[in-house]
Amino acid sequence: MNKAKIGILGAGTMGSGIAQVAAQAGHRVVLVDLNEVALETAKNSFQTIFSRMVEKGRMTNQQLIETSNRISYASNFEAFSNCGIVIEAIVESIAIKHSVFSELEAVVSEECVLASNTSSLSIASIGSVLKHSKRVIGIHFFNPAPLMPLVEIIPSVQTSQETLNFSKALIDSWGKITVLTKDTPGFIVNRVARPFYGEALRIYEEGIADFATIDWAMTSIGGFKMGPFTLMDYIGNDINYAVTESVFTSFYYDPRFKPSFTQKRHTEAGFFGRKSGRGYYDYTEGVVLPNAIEDPVLGKQIFDRIITMLINEAFDALFLNVATKEDIDLAMTKGVNYPKGLLLWADEIGLDVVLTKLESLFSEYGEDRYRPNPLLKKMVKEKLSLF
């Protein structure tokens, strides 16, 4: 495994980030992109990043040369012919991934693992076009890959135990924290995190509070590093909305994942967030960001509602065996920097308190969105705790 040559398809931010991680872990890496300009950009970016690391004393000049030399660049799939694993990090389109994986299988060896960095698409579907689908697996890094510690490992129903063992051991050897998740929409993080955005948008749409006040409640009272609207502006509303819509569709239109018209309209208007200069907030130079209404009673009401919905979603993932309770909490703290694991947080708040809040919301709105999870109800009834 330590000698495996790593193939990365896609020289964008994510692909080049994964290539950097693999090269720094001592692997020979081939970075492939059909766009020569993207390859050149990635190459220049590596030199800048490694030079900064030398300046900060995190890398020697000799290590800079050796790491740079381990990365080669190509604009054709044939360059993957002697790789032990190829990780695809391209556009989130199942049709394009089907085409690409078919092409990859034609050039790699039968033993080569084919992995996708998809954040929400079905690994089973991606593997369905392969003659040897047992070699396909999901390996989902978080952006930026060199800095974010979490990687979701997603075996499909076709994935062999050998493929899973190899992939997990490989990513563990790169110093990453891996969690094992079932091949369901959004995996752990993008599934469980939906209410952080969705319920915040709902609170805004109901006129309970504005963007700044909701963000203040979640950072000051909840201890989150960023509020939902600041975070959506950071991620990009176009990306966040696309994931929301994808998860909603994939879950057969379950109301829990229903997208918001507010986010849709911001996306349609081109208000993508920081990258476009305008999102929920205006980032134009000289514009003063709005002040929050720092009312502790209102803030607690907002925090309680969002955290309750997040906990219910974490319970649903546990109830349906998407992942273990340890991996669900690890994924949320290491993948999206939550101040605590949601299931541990639920124990601290009190499962009965969480259930009462959910039942109150369900009674008030009469929407399936607020239905309490059966496992939560069972545990409260039997006076059990998770940890």
Looking at 132, 161, 180, the residue that finishes a domain is 180
Q: How far apart are CA 88 and CA 145, in angstroms?
A: 14
Amino acid at 212: A
Q: Is residue 185 part of a domain?
A: no
Annotation says 81 is catalytic: no
Structural domain tally of the chain? 2
Q: How confident is the model at residue 3 (pLDDT cuts 50, 70, 90)?
A: low
- Give yes or no for residue 350 having a pLDDT over 90: yes
Q: Is residue 257 part of a domain?
A: yes
135 and 199 share one domain: no
147 and 222 share one domain: no
Q: Is residue 1 part of a domain?
A: no
157 and 207 share one domain: no
Q: Is residue 386 part of a domain?
A: no
Whichever domain contains 55, its CATH number is 3.40.50.720
Q: How confident is the model at residue 1 (pLDDT cuts 50, 70, 90)?
A: very low
Annotation says 27 is catalytic: no
203 and 328 share one domain: yes
210 and 235 share one domain: yes
Annotation says 364 is catalytic: no
Q: How confident is the model at residue 24 (pLDDT cuts 50, 70, 90)?
A: very high
Q: Is residue 72 part of a domain?
A: yes
Q: Is residue 115 part of a domain?
A: yes
302 and 340 share one domain: yes
196 and 235 share one domain: yes
Distances (CA, A) of 370 to 261, 305, 310, 326, 356: 19, 10, 11, 25, 11
Q: What is the pLDDT of residue 4?
A: 86
249 and 280 share one domain: yes
- Give yes or no for residue 2 having a pLDDT over 70: no
130 and 214 share one domain: no
Q: Determine which one of 152, 167, 312, 373 is catalytic.
A: 152
Q: Determine which one of 16, 119, 246, 312 is catalytic.
A: 119
Q: Determine which one of 27, 140, 246, 373 is catalytic.
A: 140
Q: Determine which one of 116, 167, 190, 312 is catalytic.
A: 190
Q: Is residue 186 part of a domain?
A: no
146 and 239 share one domain: no
Q: Which residues make Cβ contacts (< 8 Å) with residue 82, sequence separation at least 6?
A: 5, 109
Higher pLDDT, 374 or 1: 374
Q: Is residue 215 part of a domain?
A: yes
Percentage of the chain lying above the pLDDT 70 cut: 99
What's the whole-number mean pLDDT along residues 376-386? 97
Distances (CA, A) of 326 to 13, 252, 374: 29, 28, 19
174 and 195 share one domain: no
Report the Cα–Cα distance between both ends of the chain, in Å, rounded.
36
What's the whole-number mean pLDDT along residues 96-117? 97
| pLDDT per residue as tens digits for the range 216-236 | 999 999 999 999 999 999 999
The residue segments making up the domain with residue 154 are: 6-180
Annotation says 266 is catalytic: no
Percentage of the chain lying above the pLDDT 90 cut: 97
10 and 147 share one domain: yes
Looking at 145, 180, 215, the residue that finishes a domain is 180
Choose among 176, 144, 186: nearest CA to 314: 186
| pLDDT per residue as tens digits for the range 354-365 | 999 999 999 999
What's the whole-number average pLDDT of the chain? 96
Looking at 152, 180, 208, the residue that finishes a domain is 180
- Give yes or no for residue 18 having a pLDDT over 60: yes
Whether 167 contacts 115, CB under 8 Å: yes
| pLDDT per residue as tens digits for the range 254-307 | 999 999 999 999 999 999 999 999 999 999 999 999 999 999 999 999 999 999
